[in-house]
Homo-oligomer: A and B are copies of this chain.
C-alpha cells in the first residue's frame, strides 16, 4: 500500500501542514482557520472564517434524543472507551440525520438553472421523493438555526444565489405540502457552502466537525453520571 498526500509532510523532524509549520499554526492561527487551511489549501478570508465558525457552532449539539447522541451514550454506558463510543455515535448519523448536506448541495446545484422548479417539486412529491434539506422532527415551522445562519451569511456578504434558491424552494413546497417543511440545518449549510464555492463532497464533513464535540459532551455526561447499562424497558417492546 502506497499513499500520496499533499496534506502534511515531515522535514527534518518538523511537521509541515499545507506549507506551514505546525508550530506557526499553533502560535498564530485559530482552530477554524487551520481546519480551513487543511481542507482548502489556503487560509480563509475574514468573512469565510466567521462563516465557518458559525457553521460549526450551529451544528454543535441537538440534545440527547437524536440517534447519534443515543448511540454514543448507549455505547459509553456498557463500558466502552471514549473513542469507541464516539465511533458508535457517528454511525448514528445517516442520510436522514445530519448526512444530507451533500445530497442537498447536489440537488441545489443540479436544479438552480432548472427553468421550472415548481413542476420538478411536484413531480418529486408525486414519486414520494423527499427533497433533501427540508423538514425537521422538532422544529415544525422554522428551523431557527437556518434563520440565524442566513442572517450571518448576509452580514458576511456570503448570502448569494444558492441561499435565495433554497428559500424559494421552501416557499414553493409550502404551497402544496400538507405539512410544514422548514429549511433545516442540512439545507441551510448546503446553500451557504455552495455560495462559498465549497465542493459538495465536503458538505457532510463540515457538519461532522461541528457536531463531534457535542457527541463527546454526551459521552462525558454519560460516564460522569454513570447510571449503568442502557436498555429498552419491557414496556417499550411490542411483540408482533
Contact = CB atoms under 8 A, between A and B. Distances in A.
B83 A221 contact: no
B15 A65 contact: no
A157 to B, nearest CB: 16
A63 B4 CA distance: 10
Counting every copy of the chain, the complex holds: 4
B82 A91 contact: no
A124 interface: no
Contacts of A80: 84, 91, 94
A138 interface: yes
Cβ-closest 7 pairs across A and B: A78-B94, A88-B91, A79-B94, A65-B232, A87-B87, A6-B240, A79-B95
B38 A26 contact: no
A225 B237 CA distance: 15
Contacts of A3: 64-65, 70, 73, 232, 236-238
A85 B71 CA distance: 11
A126 B4 CA distance: 30
Contacts of A221: 5-7
17 contacts: A1-B230, A1-B232, A4-B237, A4-B240, A5-B238, A10-B63, A22-B148, A25-B60, A27-B148, A31-B60, A39-B216, A64-B237, A65-B236, A82-B208, A83-B99, A87-B90, A205-B219
Given A53-B31, A83-B91, A67 B75 contact: yes
A164 to B, nearest CB: 21
